Amino acid sequence: METLIVKRATRASRMGALAGIVVLAVVCSMPWWAEVAHQHLVAEIFYTIALAQMWNLLAGYGGVVSVGQQAYLGIGAYSLVLFGLDAGVNPFVVIVTAGVVSALIALPMAGVLFRLKGAHLAVGTWVLAEVFRLLVANTDALGGGSGTSVMATMRGIAPWWRESLTLWIAVALGAGGCLFVYVLLISRYGLALMAVRDNDAGAGSLGVSVRAVRWLVYVCSAAGCGMTGALIFVTKLRVSPEAAFSVDWSALMLFVVVIGGIGSIEGPIIGTLLYFVLRQSLSDWGVWYQIVLGAVAIGFMILRPRGIWGAVSARLGLSVFPTERRLFGLGSDTHSAHNTFDMHDMHDMRDVKDAGAPLRYDALDAAKARDC
């Protein structure tokens, strides 16, 4: 009898991991050989990936469409004012603090927002961001409506170290965001998450805690946006309510995820790269730049609703971040298949026809079996 094994890694994922390590090594070495302007651009690319992954985690996997994640980006930015400017904490330490503060604020806010559903929930997230913007704009201690400079937080930090740390932290947020989402998805919480996204009523009837799962992704997304917001305004050196709580941040996240491929880790990466190519190419077009971006987003939503990576993955079967387990045969053996993988995996397998084909999971059954 043929011996079977189950594994996630594919040739594409191994090559992707190797390429990723090389890219990260080159990027992290940029302070020693690249111009400051190029470092700023690469840092911006990586923190955009971080924002996109957080929005994708929330909407693409959690099924919570938010147009108000700028609320936590702004909270992260004003954590820089409160802790860095007023309390004198190192601004790069404040980035971590901003994530904690954002997560703590998101905990009660999730309880309020998740009383809403669908379009009402999306509008509610935007209203929440506007409430935070108005509160900050009317608080003189935080600079009021005109904002405040945070340049004083950089005193005592050498320019080389300031630029280098900004780049390295941006890389950590971007790469760390991708890794965090991947680890979450291959855990039992990932199965519950996708079950809730696909059918929250069905998931709840099978014992999945819908509220807890959505609470988890909302708080994690808020923490990621908070840390990224603090980093962004470390680079800008000035914080204002209009800039920090601008809905443009959510529009950016949505655009990147939609064109790259919602519901995949690869999608936000591809979408970010395409966005920067378009931005550099159309920078001289004035107002037409925004019109073209809008037209591109609409075109993708109509013609390619799964985005670039969704189309590539469907055609070629590629997965750089594989979350499905695949079945491989190792030739004849006297042992039965379930000696190689457990009976639970054997029970969840559906219609495996070829070696290397992904196992077909019913997400609700898997989530229930793992007591998520």
Lowest mean pLDDT segment, chosen from 53-67, 90-104, 139-153, 329-343: 329-343
Residue 239, pLDDT above cutoff 50: yes
Tokens of 59: 């909407």
Q: Find out whether 231 and 170 touch, Cβ atoms under 8 Å.
A: yes
Rounded to the nearest 10°, the torsion over CA 246, 226, 214, 136 is -50
Tokens of 147: 């904002």
pLDDT for 372 equals 58
For 246-271, b/e burial (b = at least 16 CB within 10 A) is: beebbbbbbbbbbbbbbbbbbbbbbb
pLDDT for 11 equals 83
Q: Find out whether 74 and 245 touch, Cβ atoms under 8 Å.
A: yes
Tokens of 156: 């005592």
Whole-number Å distance between alpha carbons of 206 and 365: 8
Residue 351, pLDDT above cutoff 50: no
Lowest mean pLDDT segment, chosen from 5-14, 171-180, 202-211: 5-14
Element (H, E) at 326: strand 326-332
CATH class of residue range 2-316: mainly alpha
Q: Give me the DSSP letters along 104-145.
A: HHHHHHHHHHTTS-HHHHHHHHHHHHHHHHHHHHT-GGGTGG
Instruction: Compute the average pLDDT of residues 296-322.
Output: 89
pLDDT tens, position by position, 255-300: 999 999 999 999 999 999 999 999 999 888 878 888 888 899 999 9
Residue 331, pLDDT above cutoff 80: no
Matching residue, tokens 């039965």: 336
Residue 36, pLDDT above cutoff 80: yes
Using 50, 70 and 90 to split pLDDT, how confident is the model at 330? low
Mean pLDDT score of the chain, rounded to an integer? 86
Beta-carbon contacts of 293 under 8 Å, excluding residues fewer than 6 positions away, are 255, 275, 278, 282
Q: Find out whether 225 and 106 touch, Cβ atoms under 8 Å.
A: no
* Whole-prediction pTM: 0.87
Q: Find out whether 341 and 14 touch, Cβ atoms under 8 Å.
A: no
* The pairing of beta strand 2-7 with beta strand 238-239: unpaired
Name which of 144, 151, 129, 143 is nearest 236 in CA terms: 151
pLDDT for 202 equals 82
Instruction: Compute the average pLDDT of residues 153-172.
Output: 95
Strands (E) located in 8-91: none
Using 50, 70 and 90 to split pLDDT, how confident is the model at 107? very high
User: In percent, how much of the chain has pLDDT > 70?
Assistant: 86
Residue 340, pLDDT above cutoff 60: no
Residue 127, pLDDT above cutoff 90: yes
Instruction: Compute the average pLDDT of residues 242-266.
Output: 95
pLDDT for 327 equals 66
Whole-number Å distance between alpha carbons of 13 and 325: 13
Phi, psi for 328 (deg, rounded to 5)? -125, 140
pLDDT for 332 equals 46
Residue 318, pLDDT above cutoff 90: no
237: left (phi over 0), alpha (psi -120 to 50) or beta: left
Which of residues 55 and 370 earns the better pLDDT score? 55
Which of residues 308 and 323 earns the better pLDDT score? 308
Q: Find out whether 353 and 316 touch, Cβ atoms under 8 Å.
A: no
DSSP 58: I
Residue 371, pLDDT above cutoff 60: no
* The pairing of beta strand 148-149 with beta strand 2-7: unpaired
Instruction: Compute the average pLDDT of residues 324-338.
Output: 53
Q: Give me the DSSP letters along 272-307.
A: HHHHHHHHHHSTTSTTHHHHHHHHHHHHHHHH-TTH
Residue 155, pLDDT above cutoff 80: yes
pLDDT for 364 equals 46
Instruction: Compute the average pLDDT of residues 171-181.
Output: 97
